[in-house]
Amino acid sequence: MTTKELMELDQKYIIGTYGRNPISIVRGKGATLYDEEDNEYIDFTSGIGVSSIGYGNEKWAEAIYEQAKKLGHISNLYYTEPCAKLAEQLCTRTGMSGVFFGNSGAEANEGIIKLARKYSYDKYGEGRATVLTLKDSFHGRTITTLNATGQDVFHQYFFPFTEGFRYVEANNFTDLVLKADDTVCAVLMELIQGEGGVNPLDEEYVKNVAEYCKKNDWLLLIDEVQTGVGRTGTLFAYQGYGIEPDAVSFAKGIAGGLPMGGFLVSEKCRETLGPGTHGSTFGGNPVSASAALEVLNELDDQLLLEVREKGNYIAAAVHNMRSGNISAIKGKGLMIGLQLIGADAAQTSAALASRGLLTLTAHGNVLRLLPPLTITIEEIDKGLAILQGLLGD
């Protein structure tokens, strides 16, 4: 099927919620993708931060195949080894106490919001259910997580939303203290806002918030759906901030391309969600868990170091382009935002795609780069040459 034929078929039967690029991806190897006509694309997207260990990864595919042959699914009413081993890995490598597995980021965030509300209800009773979230955040597309998201554009059409969210300004501790009252039970935030523009939070601000949470017995909920699983050069971004969250949500990159999400909890709320209070039919399924075990296996200290080095390499190279259209380079590790001026991010991303480089955008006219963590320097250089060709001097 040609790309044109595929586009027609897709548009005839799939509802139009996505603005797709006019490209059909057929296969990939490493961080290089190929379309129907065998054109090559350097991938600075990983899907959207998902394909963390690259495309066509043999060990990952093998892990999925071997598990699928043995057991593709059984309900959470039985024990399965891949999910228990994955939970062990996540806890021992973070110091968190326990895990819940679901299937997506929004669902993971719903889970930690439920955790915070029940923790508070168990201890203090009703009337303490407000969750403070940050302006320009993004937490998902369900009726609850849309309202947790601190951007007005997401608060349309679908009324009534789940109530109980209040928005505070990022990196403004005074604003948070001003908006706090005795109805609050938690703060939910990304440490680097992804969709919101690749905006890193200040370390001092994060520490102040963490301390204030502790003082008031609010849960500190960190949304690591985008920043987690090695993206910023530590297994989770919070490990680079010197804080101890009560819950950490993850999804996107965890299983390297299969659907999986979930959250980690601290000792303090280890018992909050007891039998019957939360669940997911597919959560922790053995095939996704086997894929995730291979992702964590590859994400050793050496690869995490390389993520930081490759991030610095890209930032330095972009800086050296001295492009009049790039006014700032933001982010950490392989989560990079290029602030554009005098060029539209969406148009720039489309133009780059037609030249063979896939990129993402983010709120505030930002070009967002989330390459596979295993991308090679050769692939990075090819991608940067395309970027230079369009935006360089």
Ligand X SMILES: *Cc1c(COP(=O)(O)O)cnc(C)c1O
- Give me the residues that bind ligand X (CB under 6 A), please: 104-106, 109, 138-140, 190, 194-195, 223, 225-226, 251-252
Choice between 221 and 352, CB closer to ligand X? 221
Choice between 190 and 246, CB closer to ligand X? 190
Choice between 130 and 137, CB closer to ligand X? 137
C-alpha span between 350 and 358 (Å, rounded): 8
Phi-psi region of 96 (alpha: psi -120 to 50; beta: other; left: phi over 0): beta
Which position's Cβ is nearest ligand X? 105
**Smallest distance from the beta carbon of 149 to ligand X, in angstroms?**
8
**Smallest distance from the beta carbon of 280 to ligand X, in angstroms?**
13
**Smallest distance from the beta carbon of 253 to ligand X, in angstroms?**
10
**Smallest distance from the beta carbon of 190 to ligand X, in angstroms?**
5
Q: Would the CA dihedral through 166, 270, 290, 53 be positive or negative?
A: positive
Pairing of strands 357-358, 40-43: parallel
DSSP label at residue 307: H
130 to each of 64, 77, 116, 162, 187, how far by Cα in Å?
41, 33, 9, 11, 9
Question: What backbone phi and psi angles, to 5 degrees, belong to 14?
Answer: -105, 130
288 is written with which tokens?
């996704």
Query: What is the CA angle 177-182-187, rounded to 5?
Result: 55
**Smallest distance from the beta carbon of 150 to ligand X, in angstroms?**
12
Choice between 190 and 379, CB closer to ligand X? 190
Which residue spans within the chain are E strands per DSSP?
25-29, 32-35, 40-43, 98-102, 130-134, 165-168, 184-189, 192-193, 199-200, 219-223, 247-250, 261-265, 326-332, 335-340, 357-358, 360-362, 366-369
181 to each of 130, 173, 213, 372, how far by Cα in Å?
9, 14, 12, 42
Choice between 44 and 391, CB closer to ligand X? 44
**Smallest distance from the beta carbon of 225 to ligand X, in angstroms?**
4
Query: Which residue bears the tokens 């009049």?
Result: 324
Choice between 150 and 356, CB closer to ligand X? 150
**Smallest distance from the beta carbon of 389 to ligand X, in angstroms?**
29
Choice between 85 and 141, CB closer to ligand X? 141
Choice between 80 and 109, CB closer to ligand X? 109
The 32-35 sheet, strands edge to edge: 25-29, 32-35, 40-43, 357-358
**Smallest distance from the beta carbon of 195 to ligand X, in angstroms?**
6
CA 257 remoteness from chain centre:
12
Do 220 and 209 meet the contact criterion of CB atoms below 8 Å apart? Answer: yes
Choice between 194 and 372, CB closer to ligand X? 194
Do 322 and 346 meet the contact criterion of CB atoms below 8 Å apart? Answer: no
Choice between 117 and 252, CB closer to ligand X? 252
Distance spanning both ends of the chain, measured CA to CA: 39
